[in-house]
Amino acid sequence: MSLTPPKNITDGLNKKQKEAVITTEGPLLIMAGAGSGKTRVLTHRIAYLIHEKQVNPWNILAITFTNKAASEMKIRVNNLVEAGGEDVWVSTFHSMCVRILRREIDRIGYNSQFTIAGSSEQNTLMKRVLKKLNLDTKKFPPRAILSEVSNAKNELISEKDYEQNASNYWQKTVAKCYNEYQKELRVSETVDFDDLIMLTVRLFEEHADVLSFYQNKFQYIHVDEYQDTNHAQYRLVNLLGQRFGNVCVVGDADQSIYGWRGADMQNILDFEKDYPKAKTILLEQNYRSTKNILQAANTVIQNNINRKDKKLWTDNTHGEKISVYFASDEYAETNYVADQIERLIRENPSMSYNDFAILYRTNAMSRVMEETLIKRNLPFQMVGGTGYYERKEILDLMAYLTLIVNPADNLSFRRIVNEPKRGIGNATIDKLAEIAETNGISLYEAALHAQNTNLSKRAANNLEEFALMIRDFRKMTEFVTITDLVESVLDKTGYLDLLKRENTLEAETRVENLEEFYSVTQTFDQSDSEDKSLLAFLTDLSLIAPTDDIEEESSEITLMTLHSAKGLEFPVVFIIGVEKNIFPLIRQDSTEDDLEEERRLAYVGITRAEEKLFLINASSRLLYGRRQYNPTSPFIEELDEVVIEIERKEGLPTYMTGDYSGSFKRQTTLTPTQKKKNYATKSSVTSKRKQSAGSGAETYDWSIGDKASHKKWGIGTVVQIKGEKEDLQLDIAFPNEGIKHLLASFAPIEKVSDNE
């Protein structure tokens, strides 16, 4: 139920927030720093359009990146307007595209009952594609191929276009896999997550009347976290906004941390070029963190060159200084974290374990931390581990439900045709697949008529019995709830009974997980949703993101990667492993852009803290099976000494002498020239110089067409050059690796003369 709106929607907003809310016409870029109240601005802007501008709620679109953010936005909008809030389209990119495609996808030849393949199904399918193409999964890992395919789709490159442009062995191999992968998805009337956006763009580009309908519908468009959009998402927003031009994007270039998965920060940096009449408003007042934490964030991020200048400030107190702790090894590191949590809980009775977050650069770093917390009997929850919906028994149950709603889904058929065991082996399924392909039918249809094939009588009976059971379930969907259907599936398949008879601890856990699924179905059955179909239920589940499952009210310490922490906040934050080669994560082919993204990740991590921040460094660390001795992260060196306190000097690495605090940066305001100089001298990548063989000169003398020898990738050709001197970046095409982006001053390359 909506609350009565305030007399003025803009009451309680600061000057810049109010300006963003009442600027309703034309393109608008809201560059919102961390903790600056961007969600508040977005929801008040939508409410202002409805309440003050009398805009129809159904003509307003708001796109977010997570279901959690969308849900929060819907609730806030409903609380701000008397009526109509529920008619605003607030959804993620994927949810919006599903909604459009369910209605329109038949225009491009797809069935509106299509199902959505999750990461597990995608991986299984790609493994089968590699097997079919006789490719070694060690040389061509399925997930690496899928990543390349995903990148192509994010760039709106179809399998045919990719194949035409493939220029080396790797790309040509990916092209074959991409083709087969899409064929399998198409036959199964299934799409993956990247297809959802790619197909919607295709729909709009091929059918002007459909695009016109949605352009007229969405007269006011809002996009949250615009810095995280990829090319396909950018194109989608651009198409929708062409008629009215009322495109409002909110984001922060300094929090762009998903370049590795296709996000293009230039989308937000180039917004004013894309929309010449755009107005830009900076939200710089932070309501989350203390002055010391913000000063630390500002002094680190100002070392990046590719950014739109802004500086966070706050009316909050200075707060405690940032604790920098140098541990002797990974166990001293994790014990220090546990000690501090126990101390703070003991000294502050009002605090609970969910006030603490422990962040790290890669999931592998969580192992020792988990062990320590378990030994110390400290409760914690992991974000990014094996989620509930990724467990085998849940994936099996979902496959049953998916096959019931979409019998053409060969991926789901293969997963559960012999789960639990029915005497249907791989050889039988392969023969059935040949029959299905020859006749142009699905595996399910072929199984229904298995008696009319050359399969053995036993195999044919088993297949037909399975198919008839699925057919019966399909009939049930017309008159039973989802809960009743799930209960029937678990009963008639014998899946639950088999687990109960195993009588092991693992089986008992799996039974509990399946029984917990009833909570999911009952919530759906009892919801206010108009569409109570099985397809709607499965669509909702397929769009759940890992961070949607975080239990904010549970009294547990949160462990997660820095990437997963984006958008969250905690009173106390520990960032462990703040060491060069770990954070920033530096590889041989790392470039200046890579380091800048790592620094943005540090900025995100720092600004998750509300009251207290700990940065922990271990001088010795066993990771990936080898003992490492990593130097201190440049992100610690870039901190202002006035905001930090060294918790420990004993056991520091031998290269640290004297007063360590003297190496912290004292200058807090840099000119653009000083920034560039500081970047070149202090960054862990650009500070290293390569010498030309025998010349004694720095290797900055490169031209397009030069040959370069790389220790690992062999000889390649320079195809593009950017920057100069220590910032010189080379794009080098290697025959078997494709184009690599390398920093000349750091990469292990040497120029090859023509006579070599």
Concatenated DSSP letters of 14-44: -HHHHHHHH--SS-EEEEE-TTS-HHHHHHH
Q: Quick check: 86 and 531 in contact, CB under 8 A?
A: no
Q: Quick check: 405 and 538 in contact, CB under 8 A?
A: yes
How, if at all, do strands 609-618 and 570-575 pair?
A: parallel
Q: Is 32 annotated as a binding residue?
A: yes
Compute, in degrees rounded to 10, the torsion defined by CA atoms 690, 692, 698, 702: -100
215: Cβ contacts below 8 Å, ≥ 6 apart: 239, 240, 241, 242, 243, 244
- φ and ψ of 140, to 5 deg: -130, 75
Q: Quick check: 416 and 396 in contact, CB under 8 A?
A: yes
Q: What distance lies between CA 544 and its chain's CA centroid? A: 12
Q: Quick check: 492 and 471 in contact, CB under 8 A?
A: no
Active-site residues, by number, are: 38-39, 224-225, 255, 608
Q: 113: how many CB neighbours lie within 10 A of its CB? A: 15
Q: For residue 498, give both structure tokens.
A: 């088999």
Q: Quick check: 65 and 59 in contact, CB under 8 A?
A: no
Q: Is 542 annotated as a binding residue?
A: no
* Beta-carbon-side half-sphere exposure of residue 216 (alpha carbons within 13 Å): 6
Q: Is 625 annotated as a binding residue?
A: no
* d(C-alpha 48, C-alpha 163), whole Å: 49
Q: Is 38 annotated as a binding residue?
A: yes
CA distances from 3 to 13, 72, 382 (A): 18, 15, 36
Residue among 541, 407, 399 at smallest CA distance from 472: 407
Q: In what order do the strands lie in the sheet with 356-360?
A: 380-382, 557-561, 356-360, 570-575, 609-618, 322-327, 644-646
End-to-end CA distance of the chain: 78
Q: Is 37 annotated as a binding residue?
A: yes
Q: Quick check: 170 and 208 in contact, CB under 8 A?
A: no
610: Cβ contacts below 8 Å, ≥ 6 apart: 288, 289, 290, 293, 569, 570, 571, 572
| Three-class secondary structure of residue 406 per DSSP | coil
Q: Is 709 annotated as a binding residue?
A: no
Residue among 195, 176, 226 at smallest CA distance from 101: 195
CA distances from 616 to 323, 360, 597 (A): 8, 10, 20
- φ and ψ of 606, to 5 deg: -60, -45
Q: Quick check: 48 and 24 in contact, CB under 8 A?
A: yes
Q: Quick check: 250 and 27 in contact, CB under 8 A?
A: no
Q: For residue 381, give both structure tokens.
A: 């929850």
Write the burial class of residue 620 (CB in 10 Å: 0-12 exposed, 13-18 middle, 19+ buried).
middle
Q: In what order do the strands lie in the sheet with 89-92?
A: 89-92, 60-64, 220-223, 247-251, 28-32, 279-283
DSSP E strand stretches across 579-686: 609-618, 621-623, 626-628, 644-646
CA distances from 278 to 60, 221, 271, 305, 665 (A): 19, 14, 8, 23, 37
Q: Angle 505-525/392-405 helices, nearest 10 degrees?
A: 40
Residue with tokens 């994936």: 395
* d(C-alpha 497, C-alpha 373), whole Å: 36
* d(C-alpha 688, C-alpha 697), whole Å: 14
Numbered residues of the known binding site for ATP: 32-39
Numbered residues of the known binding site: 32-39
